[in-house]
Structure 1
Amino acid sequence: MRDLGAGFSYLIKGQRWVARHGRWFGFGLIPGLITLVVYAGALIGLGYGADDLVAWATPFADDWSSPWLGLLRTTLTVLVFALGLFLAVVTFTAVTLLVGQPFYESLSEEVDRTEGGEVPESGLPLWRELWISARDSIRILVRVTLYAVLLFALGFIPVVGQTVVPVIGFCVTGYFLTEELTAVALQRRGMVLADRLVLLRGRRMLILGFGVPLGLAFLVPFVAVFLMPGAVAGATLLARDLVAPPAEDEDASPSPSPYSVNTD
């Protein structure tokens, strides 16, 4: 439980950082605004077309009597839109990071610089960084899609589908949101996707404490855009501590070597 609270604290620290550095907050808004316009149009289109899609996919129910026909198609329409919303929340970060790669790289480097210590640089040309980000985002999207399909199917289970499944869905969302956000700082430290996933799996509760509240906040229209700069800053702070070497206890005296010789 302590890690859950610690993860949430990184989210708050990131928002405080951009609040203290207003220029970087405005700089980090640009990619999110571009992506928001695209996603808003897609979700509006899905909202208008979901019922037609469900009707097309369920011709076997055309002859069903009331209320079963309406109940089936209404339920499926809600599930289709929920699935689209789930994918939008999870992929919004990936697409925004891809669009705003130069913006968020600079923001993350500035966080490292202001916090002191090493400021890693990938040393790669921009096109190479964009290619790596796009490739890793597709790999994550495949994983997310598999989870989404599974959770969509489990959503038909009575009670469990309306209680447990949404909770699992938000945990999945939060986990992969955190992966995408920490990738900005971890890629500069030379970590490939496989290594990043191993690192995050070792601190699952910490990752969920950061990502789940952020995923819930992203459900509120426009909130995602304004939280993205602080989310990148917070994820950079989180990444710094994840890869930091363990602190040594200065007060602890070193244990004697079994090979030491008493010279008294």
Structure 2
Amino acid sequence: MSDLLLGLRLYARGAGMVLRSPRLLRLGALPAVVTALLYAAALVVLVRFSDDLVGLLTGFAADWSPGARGVAEVVVGIAVLGAVGLVAVLTFVAVTLAIGGPFYEKLSEIVDDTVGTVPSGPDRSWAVALLRGARDGLALVAMSVLVAIPLFAAGFLPVVGQTVVPVVAALVGGRLLVLELTAPALERRGIGFAARRRVVRSRRLLGWAVGVPTYLLCLVPLVGIVAIPVGAAAATLVAREMRGEPTGLPPTRPARGEPSRH
């Protein structure tokens, strides 16, 4: 089975675990609700001043014909929307994880214990978990801003900016999300940030199969409240798969000449 299909199965399993467990859903949703309220206020402000922002960025087209100026405003508006969407989703997850670090540590631990045993890892207090979430959250925000800048510039290109850029944003956003969502499980196994990047890079399709759906669902208002705990549970299963540990999936029939997968 390809890593893409395997990752989608792990995502579906993670979703099933969260949606069937009120405890897991509460653990993951509470920090997301707090963050959603903060972002709702920010969204109101952005919508209120969106026309002014687009007008400021299209000052170069002030002397163009109305039709050409209208096209420029549409292109710039889509570019702004794409860049803001990428930063908003990634920072939403980053802020949620920073606020709810201990909650997601616990959620990941419960998922781990449900499908198999793992080393207990370092004994960390809630304060340490909160600081780890804040540290990694800031790193995710910084990386998302660095990525958003060239994507924003590419968004001005006709056709490419409206087709290729959103796809690249989803792939990059999904990669960064799974890098962050696997943190509790991999750190419990003694794998720090630098090593985590190498592990995630080694199975790109597997990571994208969980990160991209989480990214896209977080674009839908309020859906992110559920999408983040689902992504966190699925990412824990992905971390187990990347470490060669059982994930609780039923065995699949291997292709001819391939070893069986769990």
Q: Shorter-chain TM-score category?
A: 0.7 to 0.9
Distance 1:180 1:215, change over 3 A: same
2:4 aligned partner: 4
- Contact persistence 1:50–1:80 (CA under 8 A): no
1:115 aligned partner: 115
TM-score for the superposition, normalised by structure 2: 0.85
For the residue of structure 2 that corresponds to 1:12, the secondary structure is helix
Deviation at 1:196, TM superposition (A): 0.4
Deviation at 1:67, TM superposition (A): 2.3
Distance 1:121 1:60, change over 3 A: same
Distance 2:18 2:132 in 1: 26
Please tell me the root mean square deviation across aligned C-alpha atoms, in Å: 2.1
- Contact persistence 1:109–1:119 (CA under 8 A): no
Task: Please give the per-residue CA displacement for 1:172-214, whole angstroms capped at 9, x wherever unaligned.
Answer: 1111111111112112222211110000110011111111122
Deviation at 1:83, TM superposition (A): 1.5
Are 2:106 and 1:133 equivalent residues in the alignment?
no
1:243 aligned partner: 243
- Contact persistence 1:113–1:119 (CA under 8 A): no
Deviation at 1:245, TM superposition (A): 6.5
1:62 aligned partner: 62
1:27 aligned partner: 27
For the residue of structure 1 that corresponds to 2:215, the secondary structure is helix
TM-score for the superposition, normalised by structure 1: 0.85
1:169 aligned partner: 169
Segment drifting more, 93-102 vs 39-48: 39-48
Deviation at 1:119, TM superposition (A): 4.7
1:1-264 to 2 correspondences below 5 Å: 2-244=2-244
Distance 1:169 1:60, change over 3 A: closer
Distance 1:107 1:6 in 2: 22
Distance 1:127 1:27, change over 3 A: closer
The amino acid of 2:64's aligned partner reads: W
Distance 1:101 1:225, change over 3 A: same
Distance 1:230 1:120 in 2: 22
Deviation at 1:31, TM superposition (A): 0.6
Distance 2:119 2:225 in 1: 26
Distance 1:79 1:162 in 2: 8
- Contact persistence 1:4–1:208 (CA under 8 A): yes
Distance 2:155 2:225 in 1: 29
Segment drifting more, 33-42 vs 131-140: 131-140
Deviation at 1:60, TM superposition (A): 4.0
The amino acid of 1:32's aligned partner reads: A
Distance 1:33 1:23 in 2: 15
Alignment coverage as a number of residue pairs: 246
Segment drifting more, 191-200 vs 127-136: 127-136
Distance 2:115 2:208 in 1: 24
Distance 1:212 1:59 in 2: 35
Bigger relative contact order, structure 1 or 2 (CA pairs below 8 A, ≥6 apart) = 1
Distance 1:75 1:160, change over 3 A: closer
Runs of 4+ residues deviating >6 angstroms: none
